[in-house]
Chains A and B, each alone.
Chain A
Amino acid sequence: MKGCEECQKRMDAFLDEELRGPAEQAFQSHLAECESCTARVNEQRAFFQAVRASRPSESAPAALRERVRVLVERDAQAKAVGSGFWAGFGVRWMQGLLSSRAVLATTLSVTVIAVAVIAVTWMVWSASHRSRQAEEFRELAVQAHKEQLAGELPLQVKTESTTALTQWFTTKVPFSFRLPEYQGISGKPPSYRLMGGRVIRARTLPAAYVAYEMHNDMISLVMTTGKDTVASGGEVVHSGGVSFHSERVNGLQVVTWTVHDLTYALVSDVTVPAGESCIVCHSGNKGRDPLREFRNRAPKSDSLRGL
């Protein structure tokens, strides 16, 4: 060692026990010969000791200690069962839950995720439920139509008056009975004739059944509340802001639609493309068979029944 200057440079390293081997030996040798450097080293050592003695005794908060303890224990348990990936996942999840600052954020996140999951689940279930209900409603309408044709579903009220029929249904069904408005062409009268109606059961609620006659053919209209049953499925035709769903059920043509909180099912044995279903009722002239033109259009497999 080159004297006191070198000793001064290495003093801290010596006191920090960072000098090794020959360097340390040279330093020790110099101290043995130099009282001045020895005094400086002692002063410096005392200073180091004083600083270390002043180390804050502050401990980690108990809550933090507990959170970390749980983290460590969970990890130890998870590692013990050998689920490495999921253990790490679990620790992160636990950390997210335990983080003092992240508690609120985690709660919010979990809430948002839960709401999202519930919403998606509800949407999926709702769509499935709605589809199932629409299908059941179509089947109900078809069943009523068949029973009416077979004379097994007698009309409780027979009238050609829309007003009278509406009045009759007022106290019979738990919804505002309203027949579809006829929208003919150029003021021409409808080609069908109202026969009457009766109450049937749609699931657990009363539904309205209305019978029409058109050129000796029976047309059935079933009406229920749109709150429980919404038209869906089948071939969709949009007209006048309403979506009409056309589908063949047991060989019958069923057109359903929902408007003004009511869902309707119109059943007939007319076979026409969905886009032309409405024409059956809305374009015919009195005394003229409006279905005739569809007979030639309909494919063989969908030939008209009973015509």
Chain B
Amino acid sequence: VKRSQEKGPSFHQTALDYLDALYGYAMVLTRDRQDAEDLVQETYLRALGAYERLRPDSNIKGWMFAILRNLYLNEIRSKRSSVQAVDFEDDTDPVCESSMEGPYDFCVDRSKREDIRQAVESLPPPYREIIILREFEELSYEEIARILECPLGTVMSRLARARGKLKLTLRQWDPAVSRTSLRQGGQA
């Protein structure tokens, strides 16, 4: 989603394309529909006020995700909460480390989609967030690093742990999953 040379019109024309994704991300962060709506709306407001300063080659989607996340964190800080919803320092998980070892038996079909979604929802906030950004929104490592304001290496390690945790969760929920099914495509 690269920004073309012409400014205003291109942003206005594509801005709504990211609405669902931004709302989904806002839901991941806030877990509250009303908060998510307000967060998305504020994100658009900020974006509308600043998009003209964007470089032509900027990724608008990643940029808006970053705005949304910063707004959310600012809101959290302003409320002086314990930041229970998002512990962004939680980057080590021995269980996940162990889950990274060896191949995985995994079965995915239509009935498993909901399991995966629930498994994603059950992840610790930092893992859930990075799964959303990478798997659902398909943002690059660099874009994720920019959004999360962390080094590229942290993105890679956190993503690996998140995936490991996700697999482990799914395997615990359904130990009978077979590698065969996975090899057959795993796509619903």
Contact = CB atoms under 8 A, between A and B. Distances in A.
Contact of B159 (A12, A80, A95): A12
Contact of A52 (B37, B135, B179, B183): B135
Contacts of A108: none
B142 to A, nearest CB: 9
B40 interface: yes
Interface stretch (A61-69, A140-148, A216-224, A272-280): A61-69
Nearest to A65: B19
B58 interface: no
Contacts of A71: 41, 44-45, 48
Interface stretch (A99-107, A186-194, A204-212, A235-243): A99-107
Interface stretch (B20-28, B65-73, B90-98): B20-28
Contacts of A54: 108, 112-114, 116-117, 120, 188
A96 B148 CA distance: 28
The A interface is mostly helix, strand or loop, or mixed, namely helix
A59 B20 contact: yes
Contact of B45 (A69, A80, A95): A95
A34 interface: no
A105 to B, nearest CB: 11
Contacts of A61: 23, 33, 37
Contacts of A72: 12, 15-16, 44, 48
A198 B138 CA distance: 94
Interface in B85-106: 103-104, 106
A82 to B, nearest CB: 10
Given A43-B183, A75-B12, A76-B9, A18 B141 contact: yes
Interface in A69-123: 69, 71-73, 75-76, 79-80, 88, 91-92, 95, 98-102
A53 interface: yes
Contacts of A50: 106, 108, 112, 116, 182, 186-188
Which residue of A48, A63, A71, A80 has the most chain B CB atoms within 10 A of its CB atom? A71
Which residue of A42, A50, A92, A98 has the most chain B CB atoms within 10 A of its CB atom? A50
Interface string B169-188: 00000000001001101111
B156 A13 contact: yes
Interface string B72-91: 00000000000000000000
B134 interface: yes
A46 B183 contact: yes
A16 B138 CA distance: 9
B113 A53 contact: yes
Which residue of A13, A55, A80, A91 has the most chain B CB atoms within 10 A of its CB atom? A55
A39 interface: yes
A287 interface: no
B160 A12 contact: yes
A40 B23 contact: no
B135 A55 contact: yes
Interface of B: 8-9, 12, 15-16, 19-20, 22-24, 27, 33-34, 37-38, 40-42, 44-45, 48-49, 103-104, 106, 108, 112-114, 116-117, 120, 131, 134-136, 138, 140-141, 156, 159-160, 163, 166-167, 179, 182-183, 185-188
Given A92-B49, A98-B41, 15 more contacts: A44-B104, A50-B108, A50-B182, A51-B163, A53-B187, A60-B22, A60-B23, A61-B33, A64-B37, A65-B19, A68-B41, A73-B12, A91-B45, A99-B42, A100-B34
19 contacts: A12-B156, A16-B140, A46-B182, A47-B104, A48-B135, A50-B182, A54-B108, A54-B116, A54-B120, A55-B135, A56-B24, A60-B37, A64-B37, A71-B48, A79-B8, A91-B49, A95-B42, A99-B38, A100-B41
